[in-house]
Chain A
């Protein structure tokens, strides 16, 4: 019996992003989150008889910015369409979206090609009263139209992702890109970023696409990854047992880790799309594109490239600086404040120890000022402060602010020379740790930690750990 071919994952994402415009997509109601229900409504977003949509120019501007940032072709004349279905969160019983002619086509982000980006409106929010928590079996369902009509862009990737982890990473990349554009809060918990995943498997090396399922509404990066993993597992098991994958939308329950079909195939929706007669075609002029281009910040991918090319940074360090919100500009300010500083050394401190003491806070809000880290790293480079003592200084900076030189002086953290003083301290440490000394002589290199640790304690980290280790080995004759 031959081994069945390995099944490779083929994943594409459909990402809905609420745009952070001032007003809704087709009316003048303000956007909101967490306000009392149904206070931000009007004849248009309640779909009262006779109301008509008027397109939000700011949403178009944001949409064009996203298109440009993703390297898409911007459609000169795109068309809005009605996507028809009955549901209480959809008051017109059609969603105004784009279908055959979206605002943007093509493009790429990282290793993944973009299929299209289009504009549409969000649905209202349904709350189901009763223990079922779903519309079936609810005692009552109530609708909050505050969210209804919020501008959305839908970004559809090509099926270029090959693992659940890659899908998660790419979505994070997309999120930082969108965040740097300032077009959305991109907050998955609040639903301003929502992802559906199209998942299929195929024999590795094949070009054909397998039957896909659609994992709906993943509301965290972790659930996205876990959901895709569970679905891939389910599909591989189906195929292994000779069954077939049925094309259908699936719901992933992150609590139980289980997948359930959202509706059966018999109920497959026909949305009866047709061009929205209430809105003329959306003409995007050259001037609009120029205006959007002028509003584009440097994008994370471009920033990473610049860090690699201009500062000679290693790719992974450059990537962290470029993609972590606010870290890049902070780093650049620190670099500019220093004299002849090694960019890679400063970058290592920024992405390592600084990021650690920030613990998720915005770099700009930290008490550690860029010039302070720059000065500290300069002292480390000149061996005026040992790396371990420098970490202590950084923690003090993070807690209280101030200047590293002053902290070094006040705390007596200046690096020790490699002269007699250090030799004496090492000797004392060996005497105080005879067991460790014996082990080192016997060839147990790791035991040297006890000696180095002793010296570090005695010197409050002012000693250079590498130097201590060298002297200790010399003394012990290994």
Chain B
């Protein structure tokens, strides 16, 4: 228990800065682990350390990071987990990746994901499923399952992923790590291969809350290339709180009772009690429209996706299947062969929802529900600082268990989906084990409350003292 792998990213950066650790050695140590990955967490691993010598004075001091496959990385495969983009190497890097590199982060690899971020198990990847390091017969969650598994297994110190309906928080929960979905607009979406534009948001997956704060600090900021990005109102400092005095936590009855596995509920209740011990006041609250979040989400996200994925037409890049001089045949053959079944399902769903004569009943109505959910949260935040729920209703399930039952799969996002619909930030931290598998605790805050959210999560994290080293063994 003394190798560099056991250091958190923040600790490693500090050790490099103080001269006690060599950035290139750290990169190589992780590179070897990632290259030997038997979880299928990576879709690409760097052959060597980045050519420019890491600046040990930079904030991230050359500490390696991994990026979900859907982040565009210049000259490096960026496939969004899809065969339609097999070996696609973009001519530019996503803003979030570029910012991390400018802060001294070193790209170690690209991580596996559900195709175009559509899924909750990483089984929908065109490149095979990723396994959960706690139990390799189980899924790591998704869609950022590769990032979550890689961080949990110590194949990389930390990683970035994206969250549309829970795709950072749920795999973080299922893999026993920290995952944070920032406020919509806090992190630029430029260069993130889009799933659902009004929901997608990049964020950190890390071993602990301190790492999440450090990584997020270097991701946020307004980007002239993303018109929906906003300036972050304050710097994100390392969290320090050890108490929750004066903090009011709301527990929404709709997201903490029915449908939550008993073991998960037990962990949740224990954590809520712990928060009270730390000085928080806890009371029940209500998010009356949250139970409709899944229905609204599964109209809005597929609708946007059906348009976002229309550009994969075989004309300019990616897969092209010849159509014997017939344009329409080329389109249909390319897309039929290049997309997996879940992606096709959602394109069909979204196309239908936007069709003339159905728009108002489906897409229009879903947008109204979305407005109601945001209103529910606003009202809750008049009485509470944060809303807390279990992150996922269950622990990691076995591979294949829910593949043939889309609705059962979608229910994984029951507690996480209302949050992006309202554009809010939320963090998931590990809060215990159930059946020997990690459970996640979700804290949701008002827009741009990340610094306070991280402080509260840090206080709870310290009190829980979760040990994730088992997955790195």
Q: Which residues of A contact B (CB under 8 A)?
A: 43, 46-55, 82, 84, 86, 88, 91-94, 135, 141, 143, 270, 272-274, 277-280
Contacts and interface: CB of A to CB of B under 8 A. Distances in A.
B225 A54 contact: yes
B235 interface: no
A465 B310 CA distance: 76
7 contacts: A47-B311, A47-B316, A49-B194, A51-B191, A54-B227, A86-B310, A280-B228
Given A86-B310, A135-B327, A279-B227, A91 B80 contact: no
Contacts of A84: 307, 310, 354
Interface of B: 70-72, 78, 80, 85, 88, 90-92, 94, 189-194, 196-198, 224-228, 303-304, 306-307, 310-311, 313, 315-317, 327, 331, 351, 354-356, 359, 363
Contacts of A86: 310, 313, 331
Contacts of A55: 227
Nearest to A46: B316
A202 B327 CA distance: 40
B194 A272 contact: no
A84 B363 CA distance: 15
B310 A94 contact: yes
B29 to A, nearest CB: 31
A272 B331 contact: no
Given A46-B316, A47-B311, A91-B316, 14 more contacts: A43-B91, A48-B90, A49-B90, A50-B191, A50-B193, A52-B226, A88-B313, A91-B311, A135-B327, A272-B354, A274-B307, A274-B363, A277-B198, A278-B228
Contact of B225 (A48, A52, A88, A272): A52
A93 B305 CA distance: 12
B72 A272 contact: no
Contacts of B307: 82, 84, 92-94, 272, 274
A274 B315 contact: no
Most buried by B among A48, A49, A91, A135: A49
B43 to A, nearest CB: 15
Contact of A50 (B194, B306, B356, B363): B194
Contact of B91 (A48, A141, A143): A48
Contacts of A141: 327
A51 B85 contact: no
Chain B CB within 10 Å — which of A50, A86, A279 has the most?
A: A50
B189 A52 contact: yes
Given A55-B227, A274-B303, A278-B197, A50 B311 contact: no
Contacts of A54: 224-227
A88 B363 contact: no
Contacts of B71: 50
Dominant SS at the B interface? Answer: loop
A141 B326 CA distance: 11
Given A50-B90, A51-B190, A54-B225, A277 B311 contact: no
Nearest to A83: B307
A59 to B, nearest CB: 14
Contacts of A47: 311, 316
Contacts of B196: 277
Contacts of A43: 90-92
A92 B227 contact: no
Contacts of A273: 354
Contacts of B355: 270, 272
A51 B191 CA distance: 6
A50 B359 CA distance: 26
Nearest to B367: A275
Nearest to A279: B227
B85 A49 contact: yes
A280 B198 contact: no
Nearest to A140: B325
Contacts of B356: 270, 272
Contact of A52 (B70, B190, B359): B190
A277 B228 CA distance: 8
Contacts of B313: 86, 88, 93
Nearest to A82: B307
Nearest to A94: B307
Contacts of B190: 50-52
A270 B193 CA distance: 26
A280 B304 CA distance: 15
Contact of A274 (B70, B225, B354): B354
Nearest to A145: B316
B227 A49 contact: no
B227 A278 contact: yes
A371 B280 CA distance: 88
Top 6 closest A-B pairs, CB basis? A93-B310, A277-B197, A277-B198, A272-B354, A50-B191, A49-B193
A273 B313 CA distance: 19
Contacts of A94: 307, 310
Contacts of A51: 190-191
B194 A48 contact: no
Nearest to B300: A277
Contacts of A88: 313, 315, 327
Contacts of B197: 277-278
B310 to A, nearest CB: 3
A292 B318 CA distance: 44
Given A48-B91, A50-B191, A86-B331, A92 B359 contact: no
Contacts of B228: 277-280
Contacts of B193: 49-50
Contact of A92 (B198, B311, B317, B331): B311
B317 to A, nearest CB: 7
Contacts of A49: 72, 78, 80, 85, 88, 90, 193-194, 311, 317
B327 A50 contact: no
A278 B308 CA distance: 10
A274 B359 contact: yes
A173 B311 CA distance: 39
Nearest to A269: B356
Given A50-B190, A274-B363, A280 B227 contact: yes
